[in-house]
Amino acid sequence: MVNLERDVAYFKALKNNEFANLDARVRMLTLQFARGEKVERELEIAKAEREALFTKFYTPPPKPEKLPYRLNSKKHEKLFKLLKQYVDKFPYMKIPNIVMLGQTGSGKTYAATAVGDELTNKSFKVVLLTAFTLISRFKKFVFEHDNMCFDELLNCDLLILDDLGAEPTIKNVTEQCIYNIINERLISGKPFIITSNLNADEIKERYKDRITSRILSKQTSMVFDFSGKDLRLEP
């Protein structure tokens, strides 16, 4: 998963002309692919070349061990099989986005993190942050004009937004922030994963239609129900 040290290294790497040119090429090919152009192979090669060069600027830390969650039903097993298919096909999935709903401790964050880890190992740039942190970044972007803290949320290969619904409600900030991120990523064809303790009806009650229609659309999102026992309480 992406972290602060990687972010700093990435922006330092952009000062290198060779890396900056490769990064620009990846962005251009990504947009072309989002428009339906057949550039999959070129995009894969460009990403591999960019990641290979990036290793000169950044050495990832040792991968931490995962928490010992246990799947508590066949339903969970089916969900994790679907997530594995998502990882295997990324970024060429027919339905690019994932929304995971369910009570606290049902395994949503664990599942999202597992997807992020697997894609990071495949050299994709993944950003994970909570909805609370997202609002903090948006305030910094608006009031301090700090573009750097916000750009990575729009441009990373996969954005994982954890715990939607737990963020503070700030007038003219919260809804606009979430809408901007979701809408821009949909337009550019960049996938996202959202987890929330809210169910679909509660999301529709909390947010305006312009947000819920983009998050819960069957055309662009797979919505997973993680209802069940708290996995963290199981032996």
Report pLDDT digits (tens) over 51-63.
Answer: 888 888 877 655 5
Report, as an integer, the average pLDDT of 170-192.
89
Q: Where in the sequence of the chain do the CATH 3.40.50.300 domains occur?
A: 74-233
- pLDDT higher than threshold 70 for residue 111: yes
Residues 25-54 pLDDT 10s: 988 888 888 788 888 888 888 888 888 888
Q: Which of 18-32, 37-51, 57-71, 135-149 is the least confident region?
A: 57-71
- Distance, in Å, from the CA atom of 217 to the CA atom of 210, rounded to the nearest integer, reads 11
- Distance separating alpha carbons of residues 102 and 92, to the nearest angstrom: 27
Q: Which helix (H) or strand (E) holds 107?
A: none
**In terms of pTM, does the model score above 0.85?**
no
Q: 75 or 184, which is more confident?
A: 184
**Mean confidence (pLDDT) of the chain:** 82
Domain 74-233 top-level CATH class: alpha beta
Confidence grade of residue 69 (pLDDT, cut at 50, 70, 90): very low
Residue 50: alpha-carbon gap to chain centroid = 20
Q: Is pLDDT larger for residue 198 or for residue 143?
A: 198
